[in-house]
Amino acid sequence: MYGRMGMSYKNLLHETRWLQYPEIEPTAIALGAEPTMLNPLTNTPFYTIPFISDPNHLTEDGKPTVVSDSIKIARYLDEKYPSERTLIPMGTLALQGFVFEYFVNSVIWPSFKLCTRSMAELVPDQGQAYVSCNLFLTDCD
């Protein structure tokens, strides 16, 4: 949520790479992005978009800093690119974190299967098997 929107709001030059579902985990691992949660269906590490790779700030081993998870991305952008355009105004982090987590846990996950029922038909071929198996735990080979 805070990836592209945050960078656009802060007028930061950036490039977007669109990924198909099956590309998320390998791309995240290759870049060094942390998993953001455990998959509630399988209890295994779950890699999600958005994640950002920032070539303006290198790690100790000379690689771009990689940040995953919307709230962490917002905090990172505010810290590294301070401006009047703040993504998380001072003193609101706990509230924003709570509202976001509450919304995700109480609305998004419970309604997930309902909302994404037709998703398998909408994504390109390679994503259909992924969506069926990983989101609905059906048709897994």
Judged by CB under 6 A, which of 27, 48, 128, 132 binds ligand GSH?
48
The Cα–Cα gap between 38 and 45 comes to 5
Instruction: Give the binding-site size for ligand GSH (rule: CB under 6 A).
Output: 11
Judged by CB under 6 A, which of 12, 14, 23, 24 binds ligand GSH?
24
Task: Look up residue 15 and give its amino acid.
Answer: E
First to last CA, the chain: 32
70 binds ligand GSH (CB under 6 A): yes
CB nearer to ligand GSH: give 1 or 61.
Answer: 1
Judged by CB under 6 A, which of 49, 67, 77, 88 binds ligand GSH?
49
The Cα–Cα gap between 22 and 123 comes to 11
7 binds ligand GSH (CB under 6 A): no
Q: Give me the least distance between CB of 141 and ligand GSH, in Å please.
A: 17
Which residues does 19 contact at the CB level (< 8 Å), separation at least 6?
27, 49
Strand partners, 53: 66
